[in-house]
Structure 1
């Protein structure tokens, strides 16, 4: 191929010129290796057509995937409705509140009656009496040691904490009405909590409680 001066060439002419030089060099290598010459290069229109075909194939596959996913979701929606049955009626606010209240009351254990409490106490006294009757001196010593350790490590710190809390509440009250309310509250708490009842025996607390009608 004769040499062509590059000055004054358009971009398309220069591209074709470089492609011809590449094709010539490639064919020389093929001839030297004893191989058949390579096919001619695809034109710009053929390359663009092949690229468009690849794009169309990719978009068609994405479209098929989207259609399949929509069909899958529609199938499961129909299946869910068939299994769920007819739609449930919507509750009013009053009905919903009543159902919640009934549910909360359903799992709350009812307060034991006085007869049941007495029966439990009789059973407990009978069991402890049987245990004390058959207790050995070694078992008694171990039980008393564990009881003393429990009082020192568990009961006494908790009772002292409650005592400080009672004194703090009395000190925080500014009027006699508020102090009477504090005394009533702690007296009610002492009826249901044996630790609080024990704290109310302490001298400084018992003296204050006696001023508001809860003395011995």
Structure 2
């Protein structure tokens, strides 16, 4: 503190003065040892010039890459035209739609005939008969337990839901003609959905269906 007062420096100025002396001594020792001097920082003008030069090199390289890519694509197009031959005539919108429609129709699987259905049914029955004949008692018990669980947890709730839906449709119909339409619709659904076929076996639903000409529906399913 006495030295600071004697020189007229504040503590901060004295600290900077000591740091400058240390840096000067360090540079002298480095020069005496033959080492390169400490790297000096570039000015703002030099920094901006270097950045502009780097940016120019980047854009020139990018421009060169784009030109090279365009030339390569031109070579590809030229080779494709040489191999493909003359250009094909363009289709009209009607021709394009007709071709797409024909393509979609060609991939539709045809409905199986009655003979095919009977053949598949015989094969399935034969496979199940072989499976039942070769299964053990443990396998049969596990299969029946799984079947019972499936009926109680999956089939019965779904069938009850369909039953309520059928009764709701009948109750919502205002005229006798609309009720006949509801009966026809559910009868058609039962032919393709076995859950609906089971729902039509319920007494309250079967009684409603019998009123509109479907009293023998269960026998036909």
Q: What TM-score results when the alignment is normalised by the length of structure 1?
A: 0.64
Q: Any gaps of 5 or more consecutive residues in structure 1?
A: 1-28, 36-46
Choose the corresponding residue for 1:65, options 61, 64, 74.
61
Indicate the RMSD between aligned Cα atoms, in angstroms: 3.8
- CA deviations 1:74-106 (Å, max 9, x no partner) are 124314424654566433222222232233334
Distance of 1:60 and 1:143 partners within structure 2: 78
Between the two proteins, the alignment pairs up a number of residues equal to 180
Distance of 1:67 and 1:137 partners within structure 2: 79
SS at structure 2 position matched to 1:192: coil
**Residues 180-189 or 83-92, more deviating:** 83-92
Q: In the alignment, what sits opposite 2:92?
A: 92
- CA deviations 1:43-74 (Å, max 9, x no partner) are xxxx98x8997687456535523431331331
Rg (Cα) greater in structure:
1
Residues 95 and 55 of structure 1, relative CA distance in 2, 3 Å threshold: same
Distance of 1:51 and 1:158 partners within structure 2: 78
Q: In the alignment, what sits opposite 1:194?
A: 194
1:141, CA displacement in angstroms? Answer: 3.3
- CA deviations 1:148-177 (Å, max 9, x no partner) are 222112211111121122222223333333
Q: In the alignment, what sits opposite 1:149?
A: 149
SS at structure 1 position matched to 2:90: coil
Q: What TM-score results when the alignment is normalised by the length of structure 2?
A: 0.63
- CA deviations 1:177-210 (Å, max 9, x no partner) are 3222221111111011111111111111111112
Residue correspondence of structure 1 range 174-193 to structure 2 within 5 A:
174-193=174-193
